[in-house]
Structure 1
Amino acid sequence: MIFSSWNVRGLRGDGKLRMVKDLRNKHRVQMLGLIETKRQIVTRFDVARIWGQGSPGWEYVGSDGASGGLLLIWDEVMFKLNNCYKGERWLCVEGMILKNSFNCVFVLIYGAHGRDEKIHVWEELSFIVGLCQVPCCFMGDFNEIVHAEERRGTIGLTRSAEEFKFWIQDMKLADLPLTDRKFTWFRGRSCSRIDRVLVSLEWLEEFPEAHLQGGPRGLSDHCPLIVEGRKLRGGLRPFRSLDSWFTHEGFLRMVKEEWRGLGELQFTNKLKALTEPPGRWHKANFGEKDKKIIKFEEEIKRTDDMVSNGVYDETLEARRKALVKCCERWYVRKEVHWKQMSRSRHMNDMDRNTRYFHNIASARRRNNMIDTLVINGRLVRNQARIKVAIREFYKNLYHQEDSPSMGFRDGLVVQIDEEDAMALEVMPSAEEIREAVWD
């Protein structure tokens, strides 16, 4: 599943049209948003020229003369349209992603230039999100930065940038990090990152592997943005203990039993062999935390229903207290687990805010992903080649060249006499210890 948005600044000319086709074919884009099309009317013929074969769905906002214009095209096998809303600078389609029956909203945006116009656009978008009441994905040219380093030569944020940042926080949107480039817009010496993709937390929970990258801008002054909902590729993972394990009474007992069962193996071999049992134990005891919590909550509700129907005794009350205690214990385990995975330093947020830590952990995984690497002066995106290059780099870095083995008797160390040897073996006096410490 791949979505893309691009500020093309007009589709006139076969060069830009060819670039859009290449982008779609290369990345197998299933939803394509084009900004500043400069078209007052978009026909089916125009869409067919851009999309190629197939029967795509599409909606557009016409330009105001030669200014603006939005076009959103999607594969109808992937997305089913339910409603469409339009503004002067935004285009919203509400529907369902058929693969996983996920109701959502896509909003394509062409940001305003003046501060008052920007505020008006943010208010309209807030209203649309409240109207749809489903997870949303905003993508396009917002014409505003969020951090000072996103615009070259900028020291602080303007008032409109601060208001845009506050709007993102107020809407509880996550700004997908762009890992393979710093800026998305270029004009002469000026460059900034004004193109971005913002998604709601519900969207991020449905697509935790969503990954943002930029494409070559070619004839445009903007880089295209590609959102890909793919699994992150990874190699071998180092062993890591989880803090939540130590909240379970059976964990240390399992470790002791496994350690004794390894017998007389060397210490390092025992440590290596002990990395597998905790994984199996985790899967058996922590693999379905959510289901266990739901099961306890259902049992608690069942006891409440019995009390509502007039059935009450001390045994029922004791059972309910035990269920509440067990359910609370699993809430804490889940919370501790995701806090460790997120490496969050916000200790005050430990209030069963598992969703917060889960999203931070997902963001960390996206940020740590090596999507491209410069190898011998060339930009490489192939994951297999990147893995080989990294492995060879560290293999050469820590490689030790063969050197002749030399012993103590090869002239490196002079043998001391018997008197010096005895002096080294004498226990130090209290005065010598005092002088050494105070020195």
Structure 2
Amino acid sequence: MIFSSWNIRGLKGVGKLSMIKNFRRKFNVHMLGLIETKTEMVTNFDIAQLWGNGAVKWELVGSVGAAGGLVLMWDDMVFQMNNCYKGARWICLEGVLLKTNFSCAFCLVYGPHERAEKLIMWEELSFLSGLCQVSFCYMGDFNEVTHVEERKGATSLTVSAEEFKSWIQDMELVDLAITDRLFTWFRGQSCSRIDRGLVSLEWLEEFPDTRLRGGPRGLSDHCPMILEVTRISGGPRPFWSLDSWFTHDGFLRMVKEEWRNLGEGQFIDKLKALTTPLSRWHRANFGNMNQRITQLEDEIKKVDDMVSTGMADGTIEARRRALVSFCRKWYIRKELHWKQMSRSRHVKEMDKNTRYFHNLASARRRSNMIDSLMVNGRLIRNQARIKTAIRDFYKGLYHQETSPVIGFRDGLVKQINEEEALELEMMPTVEEIKEAV
């Protein structure tokens, strides 16, 4: 299933209808939201022209004069609408995806420019989420960035940008990464990423392979946002080191012992062989973090109950302090694990919302997937061929090169005299070290 939003900056004009129709056909879009249509009214004939046929449902928020305007179209064989809600700058459809019988809501958004109006719109969108009580997908032109690198030439974030980031976190939404471009809006030398897709945690739990990419701009100064809901198997994932392991006192000792036991051999082969004992050690020491935390919390509660009944003494108090210390350590390990997996740029302090981090980790894996690759001037999209091309490239890059065996008697190495030999054995002076550094 494919959903798309596009700020087209005017529905009328030479080539606009053809551009939209070709885009929908090319990407087989099942739901299409058009932003800034600059039209107060559209007809069924207009929608049929845009969609390419008459088998389409649609909703409209008309423009105010030549300002704004939203149109949301969808294939009713894919999505069944139950309720529709509208605001001055958004359209929300609440209903069911028929293929999976999944209850959800889509909201097409056109963010204002002024900070005060943005705050009002975000409050309205928050109310919508509480009203519908289903998984949410917000898409459109939010007219706001969340990171400095999303606006070319910016050195700091505005107040409204910081507030937008806070709103996304408070709503527990995941800001989907765009896999194929840095910016979505272009005008002259100015570039920004102000078009985006935000989905709820429940959405990603249902569709873990949800991905966002940009389409061709065509006649607009905005790129269309294309949200793909697919289930793609990327094969086995690579094994890597986790920061939480280093909080365990026995981790480094275990690694040293296992490395010695592997004996002599190629570094890459030994590293690959090390993954087995590391995986086994991880399962034994970190595989049941939630259970360990629950057990510690239960023990702390028992101690608290003893204190409440007057059975406390110095030993009980010392036991409680030890239990709290262990429990804090396991919370930190758990947060280190999911914070690393998510590579979250939003969180500075530890936060116990591991569900949020877990879904950010899934989003990171999606954005890292390679959809296509140029090999010998030819674009390939088959995942098996992509893996083969990458493997062959690095095998060729890191293969052992043959070199001639040259001895000292071949005249290539000059024999040094006794004075030069003594100079090599002398300790460098402080001045020589400073000069070298």
| TM-score for the superposition, normalised by structure 2 | 0.69
User: SS in structure 1 opposite 2:73?
Assistant: strand
CA distance 1:156–1:119, change in 2 (3 Å): farther
Residue 167 of structure 1: how far off its partner (Å): 3.1
Structure 1, unaligned runs of 5 or more: none
Counterpart CA distance in 2 for 1:249 and 1:163 is 44
* Deviation sequence 1:129-185 (CA, Å, 0-9, x none): 343455432211234455566555x65679xx6425413423424433324223323
Query: In the alignment, is the contact (CA less than 8 A) between 1:126 and 1:171 conserved in 2?
Result: no
> Is residue 199 of structure 2 the alignment partner of residue 199 of structure 1?
yes
Which residue does 1:84 correspond to in 2?
84
Deviates more, 1:220-229 or 1:107-116: 107-116
Deviates more, 1:338-347 or 1:224-233: 338-347
Structure 2, unaligned runs of 5 or more: 433-437
When the two structures are aligned, how many residues end up with a matched partner?
420
* Deviation sequence 1:7-62 (CA, Å, 0-9, x none): 3432786513431332442xxx4433222443624439935961759x66543334
Counterpart CA distance in 1 for 2:388 and 2:395 is 10
> Is residue 23 of structure 2 the alignment partner of residue 20 of structure 1?
yes
Deviates more, 1:268-277 or 1:394-403: 394-403
Which residue does 1:169 correspond to in 2?
166
Residue 225 of structure 1: how far off its partner (Å): 0.6
User: SS in structure 1 opposite 2:183?
Assistant: coil
Note the aligned Cα RMSD (angstroms). 5.2
AA aligned opposite 1:43: N
Counterpart CA distance in 2 for 1:425 and 1:330 is 57
Counterpart CA distance in 2 for 1:194 and 1:333 is 35
CA distance 1:64–1:424, change in 2 (3 Å): closer
Residue 226 of structure 1: how far off its partner (Å): 1.0
CA distance 1:68–1:382, change in 2 (3 Å): farther
* Deviation sequence 1:202-254 (CA, Å, 0-9, x none): 55565554322101122444321112244677577654333444666887898
Matches within 5 A, 1:285-364: 286-287=286-287, 289-290=289-290, 330-342=330-342, 349-350=349-350, 352-355=352-355, 357-358=357-358, 361-362=361-362, 364=364
CA distance 1:276–1:101, change in 2 (3 Å): farther
Matches within 5 A, 1:163-312: 163-172=160-169, 173-186=173-186, 191-200=191-200, 203=203, 207=207, 209-230=209-230, 239-245=239-245, 272-283=272-283, 286-287=286-287, 289-290=289-290
Residue 393 of structure 1: how far off its partner (Å): 5.0
| TM-score for the superposition, normalised by structure 1 | 0.69
Query: In the alignment, is the contact (CA less than 8 A) between 1:107 and 1:139 conserved in 2?
Result: yes
> Is residue 11 of structure 2 the alignment partner of residue 10 of structure 1?
yes
Counterpart CA distance in 1 for 2:167 and 2:330 is 31
Counterpart CA distance in 2 for 1:244 and 1:414 is 53
Matches within 5 A, 1:68-217: 68-76=68-76, 79-97=79-97, 103-112=103-112, 117-146=117-146, 150=150, 155=154, 162-172=159-169, 173-186=173-186, 191-200=191-200, 203=203, 207=207, 209-217=209-217
Give the share of equivalent positions with the same residue, in percent.
Answer: 56
